[in-house]
Amino acid sequence: MKYYSINRKSPLVDFKEATIKGLAPDRGLYFPETIPQIDVALIKNIEKYTNDEIAFEVIKPFVGNCIPKSKLFEIVNETLNFPIPLLPVTENTFSLELFHGNTLAFKDIGARFMSRCLGYFVKGIDKKLTVLVATSGDTGAAVADGFYDIDGVDVVILYPSGKVSMVQEKQLTTLGKNIHTLEVNGTFDDCQKMVKQAFADDELNKKLFLTSANSINVARWLPQQFFYFFAFKQWLDKVHPPVISVPSGNFGNICAGLLAKKSGLPVDHFIAACNANDVVPKFMHAAVYQPQPAVATISNAMDVGDPSNFIRVLELFDNHFPNLKNVLSAYRINDEQTKESIQKLYEEYNYLSDPHGAVGYVALQQYLDHYPGKQGIFLETAHPVKFYDVVEPLLKIKLPVPDVVREIMNQAKQATMIEPAYGALKTFVLGL
C-alpha cells in the first residue's frame, strides 16, 4: 500500500514513512492510494472471527510489508486488550461502548496501535523521535498512556488550559518520564496550529525527528475502523445494517467509519453528531466550508472549529458533495440538549452516558424520527466519570470511580504553562 499527500505535491510513501512523518513534506495529510475491499467471507461469517482476527484482516492491506505479519498480529493483540460491547439502550438504539481501555476513551485503540508501530519502526532510526500532539482532552491521555516509557521516543502534549476535565488533565499531566505536557493559555485550535507550525519549521525538523500522534497520522486514524467491524459483528439484524451516529470533533473517527463502509462494511448511514462547533453541519447544509473559532462546550473533546480530518472525508468521496450527502448527515446539538439527553438516558433507560455519547444519542434520535423503522448505534466515546463535574450534578448521583482514575487523582500535576505562541513551543522542544 502506498500513501499520497492530499496536497499532491509530495512523493508516494509506504505505511512506515507515512507513520513516522505524520504529515507529508507539502503539509498535506497522507491518504491510501487505493481503498482495499474486505473479504466478503469475513463479512458473511463475521461472528466466527475473533476481534483480533477481524482487526488483523482489516489493517493488513494498509500496512503492507512494512511490518512482518506475525509482528503485526502481535501489535493488534496488544492493542485490543479490552472489550468493546454493543448494548441495547432503547427499542431502536444501541450504544457501542469504546471506553473500557486504560484511559477510558475511544482513542486508546488508535494510540496503542500507533505507539507499538512506532516502537517497532524506531529501532531502525539513530535519532530520538519526538511525538508532538495537540489534544482537546482524550487524545493526549491515550497518547501519553500508549507511549509511556517507550525507548527512543519523547512525547510533547499541548492542551488548552481550563478546557479539559479534571480527570483528563490528571491523565495528561501525571506520568512524567518521556511524557512532557504543555498547558496552553488558549484553545485547542491554538494548540493544533502550533503543532502544524512545528512540522512546517525546516530548522526544527533538521534538528529533531518529529512526528504527530493526532488522528492526522495514518497509524492513529486507520485502526479506528475496528470499532465499526466490531459493532457489525454484534449487530443481530445483518439484513438491515445500522445507522451509526459518531460524536465528531476532529473527524478522524467518523472518517475511519466511512472508510470501512467504502471497504465493504455494511452500514446504512452515518451521522456526524456535533456540538456548537458546527462547521460540518453548516457545510452539509450549504456545501460551503467555513472554519470558525472553537466554542467551549460541555462535550469539550469535540470543541474543534477547523477539523483536520474532514479533508479526508471529502477525499473519500472525490470531493463530490452529492455522493457524500447520500452517506453522511450532520447535526448540531447544543449543551441544553446534551444535558437533557444525559438525564433522559439515565432516568428512562437506566443508562449512564457522558456528554459526547449524549450528543451522539440526540443526533441519532433526530435522524430516526425522520426515518421510522430504522435502528441505529451511537458511539459512547468516553467513560462518564471523565466528566463527573457535568454528569453528577445533572443526575444527583455519585459516579463509581474506576481504579485507573482513583490511582491518578492524588498524583502531582507536571505541566509547563505557555502562551499560544509558536516560539514558546519551539524553545521547549529544543530544550528536551
Q: Is the dihedral of CA 354, 355, 356, 358 positive or negative?
A: positive
Q: Is 261 an active-site residue?
A: no
Neighbours of 73 (CB within 10 A): 17
Cα R_g (the chain), whole angstroms? 20
Give every strand in the sheet of 269-274, ordered side by side.
Answer: 86-88, 93-97, 376-380, 243-247, 269-274, 328-332
How far apart, in whole angstroms, are the C-alpha atoms of residue 78 and residue 96? 21
Contact 179, 156 (CB under 8 A): no
- 157 phi and psi, to 5 degrees? -110, 130
Cell of 236: 443481530
**Catalytic residue (choose from 21, 107, 196, 233):** 107
How far apart, in whole angstroms, are the C-alpha atoms of residue 307 and residue 326? 21
- 273 phi and psi, to 5 degrees? -95, 110
Cell of 420: 499560544
- Residue 381 carries which side chain, given as an amino acid letter? T
How far apart, in whole angstroms, are the C-alpha atoms of residue 73 and residue 370? 42
Cell of 329: 448527515
Which residues have CB under 8 Å from 357's CB, separation 6+? 95, 247, 378, 379, 380, 381, 382
Would you name the residues annotated as active-site residues?
107
